[in-house]
Amino acid sequence: MNKDSKIYIAGHRGMVGSAILRRLEKNGCRNILVRTSKELDLRNQEEVANFFESEKPEYVFLAAAKVGGIHANNTYRGEFLYDNLMIQNNVIHQSYVHGVKKLMFLGSSCIYPKMAPQPLQEDYLLTGELEPTNEPYAIAKIAGIKMCDAYRSQYGCNFISVMPTNLYGPNDNYDLNNSHVLPALLRKFHEAKVNGDSEVVCWGTGTPMREFLHADDLADACFFLMQNYNEEGLVNIGTGTDVTIKELAETIKETVGFEGELVWDASKPDGTPRKLMNVDKLKSLGWEYSIDLCDGISSVYQSAF
């Protein structure tokens, strides 16, 4: 992949896709293909086939997906399974049909079993039951990993899979009903500060532990792996460190400057107790993260609010 290569980013307006776009532009890539969901419905087999036939991309970053937090995953179970399966099936298959040189499929750390040992190693995939609240999304992503490996095995395609940890950054989703925990907390604390509220109520007990990676670090890792990784199986992308949700909430409370009380609603679900990625494989390839969590949260808050 060089500066003149024809590169398609599926999902370029999302947090991940837009970060990859910024990273490619920073490298001087001049031939980047993008389409909005209105211009190209990736769930539509015929539209995707026609796009690949006419544009013939050489490299593909598959960052398009239907995503959301616990509430969205658990409420729209059918949509999360159908939409994600259709998106990835169409893009991966047409990449094979039209001779794409290399494709990167982006999944999620939720593919791992709910009670898997920590930290999560790549070979823990399919060794136990999934977290029920996001099982449809996880099953779709597992299918994408296996599809990439199957096309590599049968057709010789250089299709690779990466599994990011929990992400945050520019172009995140701040909708309180459908967002992930970090942006949801930023929105909650910001609105509470603006409204002069005396307290902020957070879901769960605050005890689950989560790892957070800035989207720009993810994009840098994706760019690195697109140049340096050409094997079957998946690669975890993360920091290798985690914090409790309570610690995260307190950091955000301080960053926003909210002076009221932090209250935990234990009647709400916690989700998976811990999701820390083992990133030894990624480190052995020569990449590590660079954006500190506190600094990253501060920069995101300043730009989004």
Structure tokens at 141: 């992503």
| Residue 188 labeled ligand binder | yes
Residue 270 among known ligand-binding residues = yes
The C-alpha atoms of residue 84 and residue 43 are separated, in whole angstroms, by: 8
Alpha helix (H) residue ranges in the chain = 15-26, 45-55, 70-75, 77-97, 135-155, 181-195, 215-228, 245-256, 280-285, 293-304
93 is in an annotated binding site: no
Q: Is 66 annotated as a binding residue?
A: no
260 is in an annotated binding site: no
76 in catalytic set: no
Is residue 117 a known part of a binding site? no
Is 234 annotated as contributing to ligand binding?
no
On the CB side of 222, CA atoms within 13 Å amount to 34
109 annotated ligand binder: yes
Establish whether the linkage from the previous residue to 119 is cis, with ω within 30° of 0: yes
User: Binding site annotation covers 13?
Assistant: yes
Residue 1 is assigned to a ligand binding site: no
CA distance 175 to 269: 18
Q: Is 264 annotated as a binding residue?
A: no
Residue 54 known to bind ligand: no
Count Cβ atoms below 10 Å from residue 139 Cβ, excluding itself: 17
Residue identified by tokens 């994706």 is: 222
Place of tokens 């544009």: 55
- Would the annotation count 107 as a binding residue? yes
Which amino acid type is present at position 1?
M
- Residue 196 assigned ligand-binding role: no
The residues near 211 (Cβ < 8 Å, ≥ 6 apart) are 109, 165, 166, 238, 239, 240, 241, 242, 243, 275, 276, 277
Q: Is 106 annotated as a binding residue?
A: yes
How far is 213 from 197, CA to CA, in rounded Å? 30
- Angle, CA 73 vertex, CA 67 and CA 74 arms, to 5°: 175
**Exactly one of 8, 96, 112, 137 is catalytic; which is it?**
137
Query: Binding site membership for NADP(+): which residues?
Result: 11-17, 106-109, 141, 164-167, 180
> Which residues are tagged catalytic?
137
Query: Binding site membership: which residues?
Result: 11-17, 106-109, 141, 164-167, 180, 188, 203, 210, 270
Query: Binding site membership for substrate: which residues?
Result: 188, 203, 210, 270
